[in-house]
A and B are shown apart, each in its own frame.
Chain A
């Protein structure tokens, strides 16, 4: 299901907490097939990765971005705004994946151009199922930009 026309689906996760990033990877594993998941730990790195700047010259562009909000140096909303203002990056779907469920974070994320806002569940089973749904929808149902 995570195969796009024979290629492996690529996901970039922007997450500063290593344990949290690992948990997403494990949840993906528990949910079934693996995606190619890359992780960067702050907002500036995320933009450098997406623009193939120094240190990320050879990385292929991801099909989907999982973005935490609370990030060092450049927070998630700023990353979103810069992505949406950049014609090259604007089409990439971004899912905000955060532990916050504050209404103002939800609104700010959609206003800045997020495609979905998903709360990291406290319950592992629930988290695994949410990650599974994300994968199934974005790589099984939705048509992605080429």
Chain B
């Protein structure tokens, strides 16, 4: 992201430098006065890693720097003769129509283009990815009604390849986790079911050791089952469904009813404030709130836990939601660790769990374009905060078909 912003800034600077340099060249009477500056500007353009090309209003190349030769894949002499052998591609890799090219757009309209991803297929077949910015050299069009254009482009091939490789790896990992957990659950069902059958039929009939061994085996199988179920949930979490407006108040009401037994067990008071309409996937958001609430109930100090679920605006276009509790709290040293897979801060005897729940939360929030973090609570306890995208203003009136108006919502 920073790179793109820099590319934009560089594009603007380069455009200004080129404009000055060309201006200097076109006015021989002032050459003496700006000559030194012109040389400096030329040196700057030569040393840039960004490609710079200037077209006149008839789309003839009137200037290019050495980086442009390299990125476009055309040797200097050919470029000087106006040879153009590269084929422009859209960001998705399909061929770009002539009129879609940023140069053509700016030449026709005088409007700048900023950071357009363009692939350049060289005549040898090699592919370079660039981000292209264009601007008109002058405010008014030339006599033919078109604008001369300066183009600045940054080579982002490596960055794009790295991103693609990462996306591929992530997709493969998700697929692996899904297949592994799915295929593991079948044999596990056999192990677990027959162990339970052994216990059901033969408990107290062999000897005490046998009962204990069977209990340990059943317990191990149960833990493995919980892990596999959570792994499956993690690999499914935040799956790419189309984001829709989701009423967090309604989602929270669902979560509270599905956790009613746990709330009663903990003799907990759950205070739910007004929760916003956000853009996202309802099922994932329910899982997110459910995991956080279940955590708050689980890591309580004793009976009578208190939990607060609230929200507030967090900058433009985002909401911040908070799930706070008065439980045992998290040591500041461990506050980043809790979101990692299989991280458990407590031994199994004290608190059950697989250590995947918060990893799932983080995955869901990040898939929604938000972030999640944890703080200590004044007076003891834990505060989980996370951000989610707000529904853009015009869409806010349209509610998801399954979400009735808030007035009738059973927010607890």
Measured CB to CB, the residues of A under 8 A from B are: 17, 19-20, 23, 26, 30, 99, 120, 122-125, 127
Contact = CB atoms under 8 A, between A and B. Distances in A.
Contacts of B190: 17, 19-20, 23
B192 A122 contact: yes
B197 interface: yes
A122 B185 contact: yes
Nearest to A20: B190
Contact of A26 (B185, B186, B197): B197
A71 B186 CA distance: 14
B90 interface: no
A99 B197 CA distance: 18
Interface string B187-219: 011101110110010000000000000000000
A123 B222 CA distance: 9
Nearest to A120: B189
Given A20-B190, A23-B190, A124 B185 contact: no
B189 A99 contact: yes
Contacts, number: 29
Residue of A23, A122, A123 contacting most chain B CB atoms (<10 Å): A122
Interface of B: 185-186, 188-190, 192-194, 196-197, 200, 225
Nearest to A19: B190
10 contacts: A17-B190, A19-B190, A23-B194, A99-B185, A120-B189, A122-B185, A123-B196, A124-B197, A125-B196, A127-B193
Given A19-B194, A124-B200, 11 more contacts: A19-B190, A23-B190, A23-B193, A23-B197, A26-B197, A122-B192, A122-B193, A122-B225, A123-B196, A124-B193, A127-B193
A106 B275 CA distance: 35
Contacts of B225: 122
B42 to A, nearest CB: 65
A99 B186 contact: yes
A127 B196 CA distance: 11
A46 to B, nearest CB: 21
Q: Which 10 A-B pairs have the closest CB atoms?
A: A124-B196, A124-B193, A19-B190, A122-B189, A23-B193, A122-B225, A26-B197, A124-B197, A99-B186, A122-B192
B321 to A, nearest CB: 29
Contacts of A125: 196
Nearest to A122: B189
A99 B194 CA distance: 16
A127 to B, nearest CB: 7
A23 B192 CA distance: 11
A125 B222 CA distance: 13
A30 B193 contact: no
B162 to A, nearest CB: 35
B200 A30 contact: yes
Nearest to A23: B193
Contacts of A17: 190
A9 to B, nearest CB: 23
A106 to B, nearest CB: 16
A123 B221 CA distance: 11
Contacts of B186: 99
A124 B225 CA distance: 13
Nearest to B199: A124
Contacts of A23: 190, 193-194, 197
Contacts of B188: 122
B99 to A, nearest CB: 43
Nearest to A26: B197
Nearest to A124: B196
Nearest to B225: A122
B203 to A, nearest CB: 13
Contacts of A120: 189
A124 B194 CA distance: 8
A9 B186 CA distance: 29
Contacts of A26: 197
Contacts of A20: 190
A20 B197 CA distance: 13
